[in-house]
Amino acid sequence: MSRRNPRPRSTLSTTRSAVSPGPRQAPTSMRVLAVVVAAAACLGVSGVPATADGSAPVVSRGVTIPAFYNPPAELPAANGTLIRSEPLHLGLSIPGLDGRPMPGTATRLMYRSTDSNGRAVGVTGAYIEPWAAWRGAGPRPLVAVASGTMGQGDQCAPSMALQYPLTLRGETVSVGYEALAVYRLLSTGAAVVVTDYVGLGATDRLHTYVNRLDQGHALLDAARAARAVPGASVTRDSRVGLYGYSQGGGASAAAAELQPGYAPEVPLAGTYVGAPPADLTSVLRGIDGSALAGALGWSMNGFAQSDPALRDVVEANVNTTGRAALKDMSTMCVGDVLFGYGFTKSTRWTTSGRSLGDVIAASPQAQAALDRQRIGTLKPAGPVRLATGIQDDIVPHRQARQLAVDWCRKGGNITYQAISLPNLGDKILTNHLVPLITDQGDAVSWLTDRLAGRTVHSNCWTMPLQP
């Protein structure tokens, strides 16, 4: 696959169908959401996102992005400290009757977090102050959103996808598919902060895809940073919810586990965990040879960067074809890998012809490193709703359900939802993506109830917990 043109060729907006929000949401907010999504067809944007202070854009691994995403050499001492911010234009937005944009006013931000090796790191993201009023109990709450898989190139950052919902840059294809969930959450009157994760957008390192600590820390620190955004109405007393599906489900799950020790002052009211990659040994086998085979490359790139044991195994066992593929995928968004590496088997990338999963399993040190990424070894804070499609073969249903069982055994307040759908096609992403949409209304309603202070009781009693 040829290298991408570093200058954007064109950037287009796309429409999304409005899905009716769940119960307890204000009728006005639902109408606003429908108008905003429908109006997207009238919007169009182009070019490299401009930096508010007029500074020149930078080239990050062959792609031109705003200089805003360059972290400073010196970072603040405290996690969650806001480093910088600037106005962010939402690609799916229209003027409201009162002069404020619908669904809200967005701010691009950079804040301090800590990576899996204990080092300070600058993370980018976006905060959105909603147009809709909060009608629940207490002050306006905040939802920290962890996006599903976006890619590994810095141009794939979720904050950029909010500005450019559909982007074509040379051969780069980036789709902001999380916009519907973000806008539905805004329609409830909750503020939203979206993390770009460690290294996605920020130019100083590769994105550490599905790294448990990096993702959990970045999500919790986004919630901390949101309170310091100029014009934000959320406060230290605002209830906080976590929301994520797929990669985002793994991030929200990790954050719920890490919150008591890492960010105990964040008032966590509830967590939605959709299709979480909790057991990476199982997930890597699930995505190998699938439409999303490129995600295997992102995993190897990220762990090779942050974990010496896995790096040594990758360097010793990946052949010339594999090295070229890993380098190529490191600059790609999810649309790119679907077209460029969809259904590729990792046996093509190793010197022995074994899969990368088998190569890792044969190395005790590498397998131990992967096992440290396991989610489910800690009790999550607060109530959690965990949903997974029973036919999911990309992020396998069995390992996601096992996470619910592990948490139930630890006494967690878990609402487990198995999404029953027919098999919609093996290894082509449909079994993984359709539950994202079909469960979204219930997920938003469940989380809204938690943000309003309504109690919920575990349904662990419905699940056999014995091995």
Neighbours of 91 (CB within 10 A): 24
Phi (first) and psi of residue 398, to 5 degrees: -60, -45
The Cα 387–Cα 443 span in angstroms is: 9
Decide if 13 contacts 44 (C-beta within 8 A): yes
Q: Max CA-CA distance within the chain? A: 64
Low-confidence ranges of the chain (pLDDT < 50): 1-50, 467
Gyration radius (Cα) of the chain, Å: 21
| Chain length of the chain | 467
The Cα 392–Cα 378 span in angstroms is: 24
Phi (first) and psi of residue 390, to 5 degrees: -70, -20
What is the structure's pLDDT at 47?
A: 42
86 Cβ contact partners less than 8 Å away, ≥ 6 residues apart = 51, 52, 53, 68, 107, 108
What is the structure's pLDDT at 74?
A: 97
Please list the residue range(s) of the chain that carry CATH number 3.40.50.1820: 10-279+380-462
The Cα 266–Cα 279 span in angstroms is: 26
What is the structure's pLDDT at 162?
A: 93
Architecture of the 10-279+380-462 domain = 3-Layer(aba) Sandwich (3.40)
Task: Give the 3-state secondary structure of the chain.
Answer: CCCCCCCCCEEECCCCCCCCCCCCCCHHHHHHHHHHHHHHHHCECCCCCCCCCCCCCEEECCEEECHHHCCCCCCCCCCCCEEEEEEECCCCCEECCCCCEECEEEEEEEEEEECCCCCEEEEEEEEEEECCCCCCCCCCCEEEEECCCCECCHHHCHHHHHHCCEEEECCEEEECCCHHHHHHHHHCCCEEEEECCCCCCCCCCCCCCCCHHHHHHHHHHHHHHHCCCCCCCCCCCCCEEEEEECHHHHHHHHHHHHHHHHCCCCCEEEEEEECCCCCHHHHHHHHCCCCCCHHHHHHHHHHHHHCHHHHHHHHHHECHHHHHHHHHHCCCEHHHHHHHHCCCCHHHHECCCCCHHHHHHCCHHHHHHHHCCCCCCCCCCCCEEEEEECCCCCCCHHHHHHHHHHHHHCCCCEEEEEECCCCCCCCCCHHHHHHHHHCHHHHHHHHHHHHCCCCCCCCHHHCCCCC
What is the structure's pLDDT at 449?
A: 97
Paired tokens of 393: 């073969």
What is the structure's pLDDT at 26?
A: 39
Paired tokens of 82: 């806001």
Pick the CATH number of 280-371 from 1.10.10.10, 3.40.1190.20, 1.10.260.130, 3.30.420.40: 1.10.260.130
CA torsion sign, 287 to 293 to 295 to 299? positive
The Cα 222–Cα 81 span in angstroms is: 9
